[in-house]
Structure formats: structure tokens, C-alpha cells
Amino acid sequence: MIKSKKSIIVLLVAILSLSLYATGCGKKANTPAAPPKGSENVNTDPGQLVVYSSRNERFTQELLDKFSADTGIKVLPLHGAKELQIVEEARNVQADIFISNDLGALGYLHLEGLLQGANPKGIETIPANFRSDDNAYIAISLRARGFIYNKDLITEKEMPRSAEDLFDPKWAQLKNGYAITRGGNGGMIGHVSALRYEWGDAKTAEWIDAIRKNSAGIYQGHSEIRKAVGAGEHTFGLVNNYYFHQQLLEPTNNNVGFIYLDQGQGQMGAVANAAGVGLVKGGPNGANAIAFLEWLLLPENQAAFVGASLELLINSQFGAVYPPAVQPHIIDFKDLKLQNMPIKELGNYFQDTRALIEASGLDLDLK
């Protein structure tokens, strides 16, 4: 009887062993292994990027949306930010990237130690004179200063050709006169900085005083000027070239022309400035900030940076797309005679230029 029980036990063990063996042999070789313990808690969220921008929201938001769509990184934008906000937050850094219409503002932040160098992939596509030596800030699009004018009120031949021409009070006698922006406008600050480099402070202060006295209208920004000139409220206005391009797209009041400044022999050349981006030192999302720079340096995204602004692309071969009405008026910036001031010098003049403008009587902000 005992022998019989042992036999039964042996038989059951044998059957169990065969069952386990069969199960193991039937298992497919590519069956995935169980995930490591705790792997279900791995964070796959690509994170976020905080972008401060002094550039018009309609020029930047579409670009930022494209970045989010391409990378999955959530962008938290602050439109209407100023460079001085980066200064104020130096001990509690909030921004990762600062986008500016004025390379002088980026240069100023760099001099203050508020931007940090990097070596993003694709940086070699930006000419050396359009980025800081350590790549803490880079330019993407270019603009040049000039006069937008109403063709119904004045001919191209009758127009002034130089910034220096505005010393002459005769331009104040034109029908409806001419228009300028307030002193704190980024384009005006860059322009005055360039004149300080070319003329020195004394002559530049006299020029500021002259345009303040002789202009028929002082506006918050260039968009207001282009519209006023297009409507015949002023004969011409001092603006960046892409505002001329924008006015050409208006359904009415688009009979306008443009004069690039100081293109004649012996003249200083057009004052240029650029829009670009800076890498904020100590930003909370440093890896994503580098990812943004490398994404922006791709040819298609450099072209997208221009977007609705209709500026000139530094790398014109990357093919920014312009509307048919604008295309005949687009020129390669390399075909312009530009002032010989290195554009990176703008940062050295930025802060003192604001003081000079105000001391010369042109308000930084409209009252």
C-alpha cells in the first residue's frame, strides 16, 4: 500500500514536470520581457520652454506654435517683454529665450552677463558678424532704415536721400510733413546708436533735436507711420524697410515707395539692424532652450522666423516666401550699401543711446 502511494506521487511529479517543459518550449522567442520594476514611472513629457519676446506677437506666435508641433515641447510665451525685464529678474531667472527686434538689446544683455554662450548644431549658417563671439545671441532677419513715402504727394526724385538731409528744416514745409517714432522705439534706438558711431554724440544730439522739432507727427511705432503715410496724412516717414512691404499688402492706401538711406557715393550706407534670439543665462529649461536654437537654425525655420514681418532673411538662399505684391521689392541685403558699423557694436551703445535720446528732447515713451 505504501509502495502504491509513492508510485502515485512520482507519477504526479513527472506529469507536472512535463507540463512545465511543454509550456516553456511553446513560448515564442520574441515574447517581450516584463518591464523593469518602476519603469512605469519614467517621465516621457518633453517639458516646456519659457520665451520672452519684444517682437510683435503676430510675428512670433506662429513660429512658437510650429516649434511645439514639431517637438512636443510646450512653449510659455510672454509677448511684449522688454530687455530690462531680463535685467530685473537676474536673481530669479524666469525666461529661457529672449526674442528681440533689436540686436543692440541682445548685445546689451550679453554685456550685462545675462546671456550665456552655446554651440548649437547649425550655428555655422549664421555669418560671424551676425552673432556674438560665443553664440549667446544670434540674428536671423535683417532690416534697413529708410523713408516710406506717398507717391500721390511726392515723387521719388523729390525725396530726401540721407538721414543727414533731415537737418534741413525745409522738409517740415511739405504738405502734412513727415513722421517719426518715439525715442524708445527699438528701431529708433538702433538708428541713433548707428549715428553715434558714425557722427559722435554732439552731432547726433543735434539731429535728434532737429527731427523732434521738424517732424509733423511722433508715433508709438512704425505700423502707425506706414498707415498714416499710405493715407496721405504725412508725405513720408522714417521706418524700417519691411513696413513698406507691409503697406503694399493693404487693400487701399498702398501707393507707396521706399528710399533706402545713404546709398550714394561717399555716403555712409543704410543703417541696419536685425531681429534674433538670445540664450538667457540660468534659464529653468536649459536643454529645451538649446533644442529651440538648433530647431530655429534649420533652413525652413529661419525662413519661418521672417513670417508675416516681411523682413529680409540674412540667409536669403533659405527661401523666405513673400506675397506677389511684395516680391518685386525684395532685395538681397548683400546688394545694399550698409554702414560699416559692425552690427554687434549696437550692444555697446544701447544704454547710453537711450539717455542721449531723452536728453536731446525726444521722449522715450509717448506721454
Q: Which amino acid is at 102?
A: D
Q: Are residues 181 and 64 in the same domain?
A: no
- Can you tell me the mean pLDDT for 89-107? 94
pLDDT band at 170 (very low <50, low <70, confident <90, very high): very high
How far is the C-alpha of 115 from the C-alpha of 136, rounded, in Å?
Answer: 6
Q: Are residues 187 and 69 in the same domain?
A: no
Q: Are residues 254 and 291 in the same domain?
A: no
How far is the C-alpha of 279 from the C-alpha of 51, rounded, in Å?
Answer: 10
* Strand 48-53 to 74-79 pairing: parallel
Domain membership flag for residue 219: yes
Residue whose C-alpha is closest to residue 280's, from 58, 4, 10, 94: 94
Whether residue 43 has pLDDT greater than 70: no
Q: Are residues 309 and 354 in the same domain?
A: no
Domain membership flag for residue 336: no
Its domain, for residue 211, covers 144-271+346-359
Domain membership flag for residue 244: yes
The total domain count for the chain is 2
* pLDDT tens per residue, range 82-97: 998 999 999 999 999 9
pLDDT band at 31 (very low <50, low <70, confident <90, very high): very low
* Distance (Å) of CA 248 to CA 172, 210, 238, 251: 25, 30, 16, 8
Whether residue 329 has pLDDT greater than 60: yes
Looking at every residue in the chain, the average pLDDT score rounds to 88
Q: Are residues 253 and 277 in the same domain?
A: no
Q: What pLDDT does 22 receive? A: 41
Q: Are residues 151 and 256 in the same domain?
A: yes
Whether residue 36 has pLDDT greater than 50: no
How far is the C-alpha of 207 from the C-alpha of 246, rounded, in Å?
Answer: 28
Q: Which CATH number covers residue 163?
A: 3.40.190.10
Burial of 255 (0-12, 13-18, 19+ CB in 10 A): middle
Q: What pLDDT does 314 receive? A: 87
Q: What pLDDT does 44 receive? A: 63
Q: Are residues 237 and 167 in the same domain?
A: yes
Domain membership flag for residue 308: yes
Q: 3-state SS of the chain: helix, strand, coil percent to 5? A: 45, 15, 40
Q: What pLDDT does 11 receive? A: 39
* pLDDT tens per residue, range 293-325: 999 999 999 999 998 889 988 888 887 788 999
Domain membership flag for residue 288: yes
Q: Are residues 288 and 196 in the same domain?
A: no
Q: What pLDDT does 247 receive? A: 98
